[in-house]
Amino acid sequence: RALPQVAEVLLSGPTKTSVRTHEGLQVDLRVLEPARWGTALQYFTGSQAHNIHLRALALERGLSLSEYALKREDGTEVLCATEEEVYAALGLPLIPPELREDRGEIEAALEGRLPDLIELEDLRGDLHFHTTWSDGHQSLLEMAQAAQARGLEYALVADHSYSLGVARGLTTERLREQRAEIEEVNRRMGSTFRLLAGVEVEVRADGTLDFPDEVLAELDLVVAAVHSGLRQGREQVTARMLAAIRNPHVDIIAHPTGRLIGEREGADLDMEAIFRAAAETGAVLEIIAHPRRLDLCDVHVRRAIELGVKLAIGSDAHDVNGFGVLPFGVATARRGWATTEDVINTWNVRRLLKWVAR
Ligand SMILES: [Zn+2]
Ligand SMILES: [Zn+2]
């Protein structure tokens, strides 16, 4: 109650206290012996579905699992100070928290085929950001320096193309002028960082792109995006997306569904058709990292990987702080079982460019 954040104490006792903050969040405080920390952390991490499955597995092994301990049939307890010990007592390796959804992770753990999940440190580059050449707030040089300060080795310039009028999109002429400045920045940055020349090209209402093939062919990588007509019928909006995926100059499809969490549903796309086309052509699907977007979402990431689709994590940074959202993209990739082999911006720039040029 003495804490300034606390609005109300809901419950208070020697081992359990619950409060509500001024923002309306409920916070539960539990006090327990260090020797029981593993079972408690595992229990409260969830998910419920994962824990139900885990308890059933424990019963098969003659153990009952609770937040306090594993209990043998004779009533004696197995205390677990860490989560590793909980899983080990059930004959399992530690299952990363992001996978605990009862979507096959327990079976995979039993069979020794849990994925080696991507980590934030694995990201070598960002594949989507904006500058003052369209609707970004900082210059190419400032953005390059900010990306390098985040530990990145490369970043793909993806300013908007002209038919997205609100964002002062690039014409062919200005795209070529920007290319000269990108080369100038790369000279200044030296050999430890590289800006890649790209664009976030509009997929128009009829499925064609803002630039002809010969202009797109001049770029290192091309990101294509649908920003308008997201409410078109399923067949029409899916056909637009498929046309972009099948364009041989398109490398990455940005924020595929266009959802805004809590505000706007994604387009009514036939995702299965999109994943199959992307797997066939090698088009990469983006996980946009902004916490309001996370698009592809975790469930889509998982399915895309199952079908052999490659992924790119993009910040869509519009200012130097915008690269800070990348951890949310990595978290979404992890929830979708992604490894470094699945996410092309964990690769070094040489491998990346070789792969897109194939
Ligand atoms: Zn976009
Ligand atoms: Zn963008």
Per-residue model confidence (pLDDT) at position 26: 96
Q: What's the CA gap between 167 and 318, in Å, rounded?
A: 11
Element (H, E) at 186: helix 172-189
Per-residue model confidence (pLDDT) at position 35: 97
What is the DSSP pairing of strand 194-197 with strand 154-157? parallel
99-111 pLDDT per residue, tens = 999 999 999 999 9
255-281 pLDDT per residue, tens = 999 999 999 999 999 999 999 999 999
Q: Which fold has domain 120-356?
A: TIM Barrel (3.20.20)
Per-residue model confidence (pLDDT) at position 2: 81
When pLDDT is averaged across residues 288-313 and rounded to a whole number, the result is 98
Name the residue ranges covered by the structural domains of the chain: 34-110, 120-356
Element (H, E) at 314: strand 311-314
316 Cα: distance to centroid of ligand 2 (angstroms): 5
Per-residue model confidence (pLDDT) at position 291: 97
223 Cα: distance to centroid of ligand 2 (angstroms): 9
Q: Which residues contact 233 (CB under 8 A, 6 or more apart)?
A: 268
pLDDT of residue 57 exceeding 90, the answer is: yes
When pLDDT is averaged across residues 129-146 and rounded to a whole number, the result is 97
DSSP readout, 76-128?
A: -EE--SSHHHHHHHTT-PPPPGGGTTTSSHHHHHHTT-------GGG--EEEE
Q: What's the CA gap between 277 and 103, in Å, rounded?
A: 25
Closest ligand to 135 CA?
2
Decide if 313 contacts 90 (C-beta within 8 A).
no
212-247 pLDDT per residue, tens = 999 999 999 999 999 999 999 999 999 999 999 999
Q: Give this complex's ipTM.
A: 0.98
Query: How many other CB atoms sit within 10 Å of the CB of residue 257?
Result: 22
pLDDT of residue 165 exceeding 80, the answer is: no
Per-residue model confidence (pLDDT) at position 158: 98
Q: Compute the C-alpha angle 344/317/229, nearest 5°.
A: 85
Residues with CB under 5 A from ligand 1 (ion): 225, 254
What CATH number matches the domain at 34-110, 3.30.110.30, 3.30.210.10, 3.30.70.20, 3.40.50.300?
3.30.210.10
